[in-house]
């Protein structure tokens, strides 16, 4: 019970301190607003107008059916508005009338010729010299040619899994993607959140300097109760900042998250625990306001910087090792992979790394906090 009381009064004191409120809530809020403005402008994306095309199939054979299925795939339908026509004349009229961009025509011997190993072709009738339809059809032809070639050498094709050499590229239906501008704001805001560690640092140093620690050391409470309460109070005070970040993340990339907001919430909770613990540890070790603040700020800049250079792909040597210690790096990975449906294993691995760091740092904080003041 004492832990909760100590946490309650710790939070109450912070709420009344307008400077802390400004530092932890006000300033990030303003920066989030600025970043939201930047990122939404950048991420409006290109409002693609679908190319209208028609399709006429007189063949009906297996390859033609395959092509039919190809045209119905989600990716193709994202870029093309496809309609089937009943005759070549009807298709040509649509093209010449400007109603469609192109007509795809499969002749009646299309599948048969392919089966016999003869050359055949898909005709495209278009009133534009450059058309995306051509690229799309070429994509299909390449697939068919490749599978024919493999079939000739090894017999039947049995594709059971996607090759690991093919990178998974997510396509966002709202066209909001994690581009460079986002990366910079994301790491910048994460660094800003990281300054919350100063709260833990100052709380420890102030309790020593303002002699309030002595009150707890002489009171009949367990050694761990005070440090746990103080830890909880600091953590809860930092939570609204993290909440703002979660809201920011959800607002900007929410539509790409596929309902994985819990991933993000857990990530930020762990990150907040790490920040609290890190700040308090620095406070316990330095016991000096200036030195404590300097070390906390340098640590934050170093860890955020490591994540940033990794993100830019320029982390080498020493930095590669620092990256592994950077909670900002893991937060970035989790958020990015969640948004882009990245590797689940990498999200899990990053979450485990954050959880391990949070556990170790909390244990060290509690150990250091148990020591008496005198």
Partner 1 sequence: MLVEVKNLVKRYKDVLAVDNVSLAIEEGEILGLLGPNGAGKTTTINAMIGLTKVDSGEIVIFGKNFKDCELEIKRDLGVVPQDIAIFEDLTAYENLCYFGKLYGLKGALLKERVVEALEFTGLLDRKKQYPKKFSNGMKRRLNIACALVHHPKLIIMDEPTVGIDPQSRNHIIQSIKKLNKMGSTIIYISHYMEEIEEICTRIVIMDHGRVIAKGTKEELKALMTSDERVVVELSTANYTLVDNIKKLSGVKDAYVNGNELTVISQKNSKNINGIIDHVSESSEIISLNVEQPSLETVFLTLTGRSLRD
Q: Which residues bind partner 1 (CB under 8 A)?
A: 2, 5, 9, 12-13, 16-17, 210-212, 214-222, 372-374
Shortest separation between residue 18's beta carbon and partner 1, angstroms: 10
Question: What separation, in Å, do the N-terminal and C-terminal C-alpha atoms of the chain show?
Answer: 26
Cβ 211 to partner 1, closest distance in Å? Answer: 4
Minimum distance from residue 225 beta carbon to partner 1 (Å): 9
Looking from the CA of 339 toward its CB, the CA atoms found within 13 Å total 23
Residue 288: count other Cβ atoms within 10 Å of its Cβ.
Answer: 14
Work out how close the CB of 205 gets to partner 1 at its nearest, in angstroms, rounded to a whole number: 15
CB atoms near residue 223 (< 10 Å): 14
d(CA 344, CA 135): 32
Going from the C-alpha of 40 to that of each of 33, 156, 249, the distances in angstroms are 10, 48, 11
Residue 251 beta carbon to partner 1: minimum distance, rounded to whole angstroms = 33
* Residue number, 120 or 207, with CB nearest to partner 1: 207
Q: Is the dihedral of CA 364, 373, 226, 286 positive or negative?
A: negative
The whole-angstrom distance between residue 165's C-alpha and the CA centroid of its chain comes to: 21
Distance CA 326, CA 337 (A): 17
* Closest separation in Å from C-beta 12 to partner 1: 7
Nearest to partner 1 of 19, 152 (CB atom): 19
Question: Comparing C-alpha atoms, which of 170, 173, 110 is closest to residue 140?
Answer: 110
Q: Which is nearer to partner 1, 220 or 259 (CB)?
A: 220
The structure tokens listed for 221 are 């409470």
HSE-up of 281 (CA within 13 Å, CB side)?
Answer: 18
CB of 209 to partner 1, least distance (A): 10
Helical segments of 46-125, H only: 62-71, 74-79, 88-96, 110-115
């Amino acid at each position: 019970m004492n832990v909760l009381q100590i946490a309650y009064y710790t939070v109450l004191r912070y709420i009344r301190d307008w400077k802390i409120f400004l530092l932890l809530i006000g300033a990030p809020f303003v920066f989030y607003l600025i970043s939201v403005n930047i990122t939404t402008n950048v991420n409006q994306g290109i409002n693609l107008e679908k190319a209208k095309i028609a399709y006429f199939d007189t063949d009906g054979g297996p390859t033609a059916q395959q092509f039919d299925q190809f045209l119905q795939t989600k990716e193709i339908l994202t870029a093309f508005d496809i309609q089937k026509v009943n005759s070549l004349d009807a298709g040509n009229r649509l093209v010449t009338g400007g109603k469609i961009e192109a007509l795809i025509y499969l002749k009646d011997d299309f599948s048969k010729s392919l089966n016999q190993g003869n050359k055949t072709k898909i005709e495209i009738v278009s009133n534009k010299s450059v058309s995306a339809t051509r690229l799309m059809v070429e994509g299909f032809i390449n697939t068919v040619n490749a599978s024919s070639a493999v079939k000739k050498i090894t017999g039947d094709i049995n594709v059971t899994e996607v090759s690991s050499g093919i990178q998974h590229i997510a396509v966002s239906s709202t066209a909001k993607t994690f581009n460079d501008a986002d990366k910079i704001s994301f790491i910048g805001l994460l660094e800003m959140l990281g300054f919350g560690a100063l709260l833990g640092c100052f709380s420890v140093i102030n309790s020593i300097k303002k002699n309030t620690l002595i009150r707890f050391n002489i009171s009949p409470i367990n050694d761990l109760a005070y440090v746990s309460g103080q830890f909880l109070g600091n953590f809860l005070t930092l939570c609204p900042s993290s909440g703002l970040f979660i809201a920011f993340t959800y607002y900007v990339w929410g539509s790409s998250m596929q309902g994985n907001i819990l991933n993000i919430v857990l990530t930020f909770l762990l990150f907040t625990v790490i920040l609290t613990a890190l700040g308090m540890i620095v406070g316990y070790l330095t016991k000096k306001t200036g030195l404590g603040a300097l070390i906390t700020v340098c640590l934050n800049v170093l860890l955020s910087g490591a994540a940033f250079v990794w993100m830019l792909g320029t982390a080498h040597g020493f930095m590669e090792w620092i990256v592994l210690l950077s909670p900002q790096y893991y937060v970035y990975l989790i958020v990015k992979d969640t948004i882009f449906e990245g590797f689940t294993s990498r999200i899990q691995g990053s979450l485990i790394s954050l959880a391990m760091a949070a556990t170790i740092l909390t244990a060290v904080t509690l150990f250091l906090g148990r020591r008496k003041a005198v």
